[in-house]
Structure 1
Amino acid sequence: MYIKGRYIVSACALLFLQQAMANAMDCSKAANAVENTICANNVLYELDAQMGTVYRGLMKASVEAQPELKRTQRLWLKARNGCVEDVACLDQHYREQLKVLQAQWKEVVAHQPSGVDKQVLDDLQNSIRAISKNDPEFALERALVSLSLKNTETTFSAEPDADQYSDKTHFPKTIPKGVSRNEWKALSATNFEADTALGPTSFTLRDLDSDGQRDLIVQTYNGGTSLYTSVGTYRRDGDKFTRRTPASDGESIGGVLYSTSDRGANQSVNWISIRGKVYAAYRDSGYGIDDVYLLSPLQVNREVPKLTVRYRYRLSIPRIQSDDDHKTTYKLKPDLHHALAQGLATVEEHTPDTAQERKPLCPIPESATDSEEYYGYGAGYYAIEPVADFPVIIGGECFIARMNNWFGTYSAKDGLYAQMTVRKPGEAEQERDYKVNGRRRITEISTSIGKPGGGAEE
């Protein structure tokens, strides 16, 4: 997560600082020791610029709150000026007030789910239930596809730098196919440098608010250990495109709408339309669960409609297995296949959420040098999801197994693709992997209103 945060914040911070400097103090008119100290210190100057951006944004967004906002800001300025030339004191005052103003900003600009949003949740839930009667495995996928946004879209990519060894890209210099001249003029008037600086970037024009003008979706591959991709949106605003809300802190507000990871998560997005409203249906999956957050694409999403689908699996061990190199196959012997299947049948009773008392999975012999090896399989790896640790009895001996999967990844051919890894306590060199398949069925569908999760941003 750290790498994801570092990449996304750097992109948003670059754009934010470009915007914020327009609201910075005019140092040519510095009138006292406090202002001279701020102008002489780069950090304080940037904090003052951020303060100006957030304050002006609040004044514009909440007319009724202007008198109280002005009053509290005057009191803060008086307290700030008491620091005189003390840089540490000034830094602390700015950071504390910025947090206060940013919290107010979120309250003002955040989208509040309405009655329509709740009706949309009911519609989606009813659609899934109806489809599941005939297709209990892919009811969610089919429901989302049936609601796909059908208006015209145009996608084009940022162009690579002339230097073949550079990772930097830049916005196209000529009008892409499918872009109108009016749209090209607005695109050319908008600064996308912060988006293209981080890596391969694509731009999609699509009407996201049903006003007859196409808005903009910007998708940037950030890379990193978890292969992150971030997506932001811009509203068509007259002769230019404007980020969904003016940035207030350089991070979540007005920046990334959502991000997806291609390693260490199972996340995807469907652009859908229900009851005349457009949503980015952000899906964050795991073993036995799909969480779908309905994000308003051009607003700040502090609380959103959420749909949760839960599954139960019928797990099986294929008799035909692949060798470690996956180039050849072999057939499990009947006794081994039976032992593995018996162990697999206990997965549900060994999943972590059963909250059962911690007990060793295999008997601990007096000769054991590390008793912890008998309680579980051991450390996992972030790119796969550990489902359960359980015992497997093979030839009268107790082995410890772990079932892993790829965060609920599911296909029509194999269903759930998972893996059982088996080892004998104290003998790691005897570790062996076996393929596991599973077919699912929906056991529960629920709805709620809450904070976005996964890589969905506020």
Structure 2
Amino acid sequence: MSAGALLFLQQAMATGMDCTKAVNTVENTICADKGLYELDAQMGVVYRGLMKSPTDKLSYLKRTQRLWLKARNGCADDISCLGQSYRERLQVLQAQWKEAVVYKPNEIDQEVLDDLQKNIRAASKTDPEFALERTLDALTIKNSQTSFSAEPDDDQYSEKTHFPKTAPKGVSQSEWSALQASNLDADTELGQTSFTLLDLDGDGHRDLIVQIYTGGTGLFTFIETYRRDGDRFIRRTAAHGQEPVAGSSLYSVNDRGANQSVSWISIRGKVYAAYRDSGYGVDQVYLLSPLQINRQVPTVKVRYRYQLHIPLTQQHEDSNTTYKLKPELQRALAQGLSKMDEEPPVSGQERQPICPVPSSVKDSEEYYSYGAGYYAIESVADFPVIIDTECFIARLNNWFGTYSEKRGLFAQLTLRKPGAGEEERSYEVNGRRRIIEISTSIGEVGGGAAE
């Protein structure tokens, strides 16, 4: 159980039903059963928190709670009935609480969007490839933060880690005491963990960012935040009615099957986790309020156009050796790539094969697309390539818009001859990009950004 969840449960238990005043069958049954008592205590915390939240539906809340209590009392001493009644009501109240306290973008957020759009446009005049990166880097917080990692277990053969036993360099005595009181060893057991102290709300006290690498097929990393609250750090979601046993994250990063990153930026006096989720031809940056529940968030979208080319010198897939393409093959591949700029079919229009279907073919499906893709690679487009009058189906793949100053866009063009059963051929494709559109909006979070 996380530190925030543990505190939530402790608060709930401390304000639970006074069993010395139980007067009926239902109350006595609840007091006699630990699980029911904990549910009742959680109900009390969530209900009272919702009553204090900025909502205009208090009369409705009171009325529905009274109706629920009447229905609950119908369970009498049936533990199973009572448990189900509590869990269903808690689910409803927690959803209402989250809706009441979810962060709602304001005028400052809109001004921040306007600033970012203006800055990216200005930077694109001199650097149309990396204007977004330059803008975010200029706003990234580089000072006033301290980072440290969980330590390996004393047993050299153990893969477990634990929270440091002594104060890391740069951590004040007050911060160290608060860290020790927050039971953060629970997080280190989930995977390789690192911690960063940074003031996320401008109150003069540094808050906590916890980063946990869990691996898996997507090589996932999950990031959650904790607010400094007096003598401890409280998980971002603990005060929002989240169930104590439920995990959470502000965002996650998928290192295999996505192109995601984050910059901690400060603009107009506010700190954001600028969460970037990229694909071929587009970067979307979601400005997450780091200590809030996020749903509708300020978003910047940057679109690119690529000038693609087929390098004359190619590398053999099974070795580090290179070879040169024949000029006529290079021209054919380049001509095929140029078809990617053609208008896509209108919705509802009859689907057309990519290569002509011979009359002798019974199953023509393989003439309509390249085939199944692979989750770790982004399939951009399928198109025909004509080589010596023969039609091949080509697919452009890339790694979700991954881009570098040295190589630009690195992509791969694969070819197959439909109906021939031949092995596919692969060719390297490079490209340079330029920004063609910058837009802003307030919308739903996406990618690995969580509520």
Q: Say yes or no: TM over 0.5.
A: yes
Is 1:313–1:440's contact at 8 Å kept on the other side of the alignment? yes
1:71-86 matched pairs, under 5 angstroms: 71-86=63-78
Task: State which of 177, 199, 210 in structure 2 corresponds to 1:207.
Answer: 199
Task: State which of 360, 375, 378 in structure 2 corresponds to 1:367.
Answer: 360
Q: Return 19-28 or 101-110, whichever deviates more.
A: 19-28
> CA–CA distance in 2 between the matches of 1:422 and 1:217?
46
| AA at the equivalent of 1:19 | F
Task: State which of 220, 224, 234 in structure 1 corresponds to 2:226.
Answer: 234
Is 1:17–1:250's contact at 8 Å kept on the other side of the alignment? no
Query: RMSD across aligned C-alpha pairs, in angstroms?
Result: 2.8
CA shift, 1:54, in A, is 2.3
Query: Tell me, what secondary structure is at the counterpart of 1:440?
Result: strand
Query: Tell me, what secondary structure is at the counterpart of 2:413?
Result: strand
| AA at the equivalent of 1:309 | V
Is 1:132–1:442's contact at 8 Å kept on the other side of the alignment? yes
Q: Return 419-428 or 49-58, whichever deviates more.
A: 49-58
Aligned to 1:142: 134
Matched, 1:257 2:250: yes
Query: Tell me, what secondary structure is at the counterpart of 2:87?
Result: helix
Name the CA shift for 1:283/1:382 in 2 (closer, same or farther; >3 Å): same
Task: State which of 320, 337, 343 in structure 2 corresponds to 1:344.
Answer: 337
Q: Return 447-456 or 99-108, whichever deviates more.
A: 99-108
Measured against aligned partners, the alpha-carbon deviations of 1:378-413 in whole angstroms (never above 9, x if no partner) come to 111111111001111112111111111111111111
Is 1:27–1:36's contact at 8 Å kept on the other side of the alignment? no
Name the CA shift for 1:253/1:139 in 2 (closer, same or farther; >3 Å): farther
> CA–CA distance in 1 between the matches of 2:162 and 2:47?
32
Measured against aligned partners, the alpha-carbon deviations of 1:9-52 in whole angstroms (never above 9, x if no partner) come to xx76x963673365256697676554566678787566445434
> CA–CA distance in 2 between the matches of 1:46 and 1:433?
60
Is 1:15–1:250's contact at 8 Å kept on the other side of the alignment? no
Name the CA shift for 1:209/1:22 in 2 (closer, same or farther; >3 Å): closer
| AA at the equivalent of 1:271 | W
Aligned to 1:278: 271
Query: Tell me, what secondary structure is at the counterpart of 2:98?
Result: helix
CA shift, 1:269, in A, is 0.4
Measured against aligned partners, the alpha-carbon deviations of 1:281-330 in whole angstroms (never above 9, x if no partner) come to 00011111111111111111121111111111111111111111241111
Matched, 1:443 2:414: no
> CA–CA distance in 2 between the matches of 1:314 and 1:236?
49
Q: Return 153-162 or 25-34, whichever deviates more.
A: 25-34
TM score, norm. by length of structure 1: 0.89
Is 2:4–2:234's contact at 8 Å kept on the other side of the alignment? no
CA shift, 1:93, in A, is 2.7
| AA at the equivalent of 1:302 | R
Q: Return 99-108 or 350-359, whichever deviates more.
A: 350-359
Task: State which of 95, 99, 103 in structure 2 corresponds to 1:103.
Answer: 95
> CA–CA distance in 2 between the matches of 1:56 and 1:312?
53
> CA–CA distance in 2 between the matches of 1:42 and 1:370?
63
Is 1:418–1:435's contact at 8 Å kept on the other side of the alignment? yes
Measured against aligned partners, the alpha-carbon deviations of 1:357-383 in whole angstroms (never above 9, x if no partner) come to 421111111332431110001111111
> CA–CA distance in 1 between the matches of 2:46 and 2:346?
43
Is 2:19–2:27's contact at 8 Å kept on the other side of the alignment? no
1:13-32 matched pairs, under 5 angstroms: 16=5, 19-20=8-9, 22-24=11-13, 32=24
Is 2:314–2:427's contact at 8 Å kept on the other side of the alignment? yes
Name the CA shift for 1:253/1:120 in 2 (closer, same or farther; >3 Å): farther
| Aligned residue pair count | 447
CA shift, 1:336, in A, is 1.0
> CA–CA distance in 1 between the matches of 2:182 and 2:160?
18
Name the CA shift for 1:340/1:242 in 2 (closer, same or farther; >3 Å): same
| AA at the equivalent of 2:251 | Y
Percent identical pairs in the alignment equals 66
Aligned to 2:445: 452
Name the CA shift for 1:186/1:456 in 2 (closer, same or farther; >3 Å): same
> CA–CA distance in 1 between the matches of 2:4 and 2:420?
54
CA shift, 1:58, in A, is 2.3
CA shift, 1:55, in A, is 2.4
Task: State which of 244, 248, 268 in structure 1 corresponds to 2:241.
Answer: 248
> CA–CA distance in 2 between the matches of 1:197 and 1:270?
26
Query: Tell me, what secondary structure is at the counterpart of 1:136?
Result: coil
Aligned to 1:93: 85
